[in-house]
């Protein structure tokens, strides 16, 4: 995390709630990915954080984009990505997504056999395989389990590859993405092993896309070794699609204390909550909470950090050992660069927060705070 004085300065300048990003952390994460995965092609899953400044930074470093909506494809196009720098994922793509993908020469990740007939003529495509495993992550984050809606079965995969060829498309190979925030490398090993078993039925392939999903503490070199081994089995080039791993650590959500309340539990009420960071409520995610003030703590006293929304579930973190929080104090919620700002919502007509980037020299506002007028503009 950046020094408290820098974070204080950003909050004073831009107000709170505020998403801040440290460019050096983003570069460090990209460096770790490239060190582990060597010459694998990296497609950043922009759903994790689609801010244009971050996209431009990654695009300039040769990173492509994994897009899952027309809006995301439009962002990729807007920052200059084309052709081999765009893959389009999703279980139910719209006509607009096929059209944009065709126009830009993107690669489509086919999610069901029926999709073959919907692809634009001569499309480059990968077939997403669901390895049907028990994945060690939150149920809502598992995409490689039988209960998940994603991908074709192992049995269907060779047939879908053949259907692509028969329809005149370019069947590049296979894709697997088993979920998100996965820390246990065994899950990836098991998924790749199931794919490797398809080799006699598929023959050699041009590409194996090993997806993303790496949790922050994951053994990246270990996962990379297994992914490379699987690609080699097919004689394929390796592609990966990290989202969280690239941006999570670079981001910190700054929020100010509005007040406190003691009702049997101690509540520290802050100006950010579920509308700014929904992960604690949606996935039970635990983000590190740091008090950016210096005051003696009450003996053993802990606080539930609660947001301002009129929703009981609007709790950012429970049982935090905050030292006598006071109105105006600043709290930093860490590991918030992924699925933080991108999942923030205008629920309750709350304006989505501003975002600021520390480039090593200065703060730069990379998204202004929305105004109420922004939120109702489409209704006038």
Question: Which residues sit at the interface with ligand PLP, rule CB under 6 A?
Answer: 45, 47-48, 66, 89, 177, 180-181, 211-214, 241-245, 338
Nearer to ligand PLP (CB atom), residue 101 or residue 243:
243
Q: How far is the CB of 279 from ligand PLP (least distance, A)?
A: 12
Nearer to ligand PLP (CB atom), residue 43 or residue 303:
43
Tokens of 121: 């003529």
Catalytic status, residue 310: yes
Q: How far is the CB of 180 from ligand PLP (least distance, A)?
A: 3
Residue with tokens 């100010």: 256
Tokens of 215: 């949790």
Instruction: Assign residue 153 a region (left: φ > 0; alpha: ψ between -120 and 50; beta: otherwise).
Output: beta
Closest CA to 184 of 149, 222, 238, 130: 222
Nearer to ligand PLP (CB atom), residue 251 or residue 325:
251
Q: How far apart are CA 135 and CA 179, in angstroms?
A: 7
Tokens of 60: 């300039």
Side-chain half-sphere CA neighbours of 163 within 13 A: 16
Q: How far is the CB of 305 from ligand PLP (least distance, A)?
A: 24
Q: How far is the CB of 87 from ligand PLP (least distance, A)?
A: 9
Annotated binding residue 213: yes
Q: How far is the CB of 18 from ligand PLP (least distance, A)?
A: 22
Annotated binding residue 44: no
Q: Nearest-CB residue to ligand PLP? A: 243
Nearer to ligand PLP (CB atom), residue 53 or residue 180:
180
Of the listed 121, 310, 362, 378, which one is catalytic?
310
Annotated binding residue 245: no
Q: How far apart are CA 223 and CA 244, in angstroms?
A: 15
In DSSP terms, 260 is beta-bridged to: 268
Parallel, antiparallel or unpaired: strands 289-291 and 266-270: unpaired
DSSP 38-56: TT-EEEEEGGG---HHHHH
CA distances from 203 to 152, 157, 161 (A): 18, 12, 10
Annotated binding residue 335: no
Annotated binding residue 38: no
Nearer to ligand PLP (CB atom), residue 14 or residue 65:
65
Q: Residues forming the annotated binding site?
A: 213, 241-244, 279, 283, 311, 339
The residues annotated with a catalytic role in the active site are: 310
Q: Residues forming the annotated binding site for substrate?
A: 244, 279, 283, 311, 339
């Amino acid at each position: 995390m950046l020094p408290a004085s820098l974070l204080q300065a950003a909050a004073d300048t831009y107000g709170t709630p505020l998403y801040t990003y440290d460019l050096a952390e983003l570069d460090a994460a990209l460096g770790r990915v490239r060190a582990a995965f060597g010459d694998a092609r990296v497609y950043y899953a922009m759903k994790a954080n689609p801010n244009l400044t971050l996209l431009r930074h990654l695009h300039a470093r040769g990173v492509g984009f994994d897009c899952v909506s027309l809006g995301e494809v439009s962002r990729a196009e807007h920052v200059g990505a084309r052709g081999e720098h765009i893959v389009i994922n999703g279980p139910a793509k719209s006509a607009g997504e096929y059209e944009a993908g065709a126009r830009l020469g993107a690669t489509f990740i086919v999610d069901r056999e029926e999709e073959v007939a919907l692809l634009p003529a001569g499309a480059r495509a990968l077939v997403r395989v669901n390895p049907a495993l028990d994945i060690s992550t939150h149920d809502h984050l598992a995409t490689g389990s039988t209960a998940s809606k994603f991908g074709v079965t192992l049995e269907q995969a060779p047939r879908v590859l053949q259907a692509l060829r028969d329809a005149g498309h370019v069947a590049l190979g296979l894709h697997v993405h088993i979920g998100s925030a996965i820390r246990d490398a065994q899950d990836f090993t098991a998924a790749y092993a199931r794919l490797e078993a398809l080799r006699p039925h598929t023959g050699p392939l041009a590409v194996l896309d090993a997806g993303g999903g790496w949790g922050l503490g994951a053994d990246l070199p270990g996962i990379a070794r297994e992914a490379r081994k699987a690609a080699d089995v097919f004689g394929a080039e390796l592609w990966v699609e990290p989202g969280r791993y690239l941006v999570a650590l670079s981001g910190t959500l700054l929020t100010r204390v509005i007040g406190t309340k003691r009702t049997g539990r101690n509540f520290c009420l802050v100006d950010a909550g579920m509308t700014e960071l929904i992960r604690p409520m949606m996935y039970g995610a635990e983000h590190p909470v740091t008090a950016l003030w210096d005051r003696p703590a009450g003996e053993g006293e802990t606080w539930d950090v609660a947001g301002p929304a009129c929703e009981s579930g609007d709790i950012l973190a429970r049982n935090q050992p905050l030292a006598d929080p006071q109105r105006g104090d600043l709290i930093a919620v860490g590991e918030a660069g992924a699925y933080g700002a991108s999942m923030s919502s205008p629920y309750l007509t709350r304006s989505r927060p501003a975002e600021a980037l520390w480039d090593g020299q200065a703060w730069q506002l990379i998204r202004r705070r929305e105004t109420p007028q922004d939120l109702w503009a489409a209704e006038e």
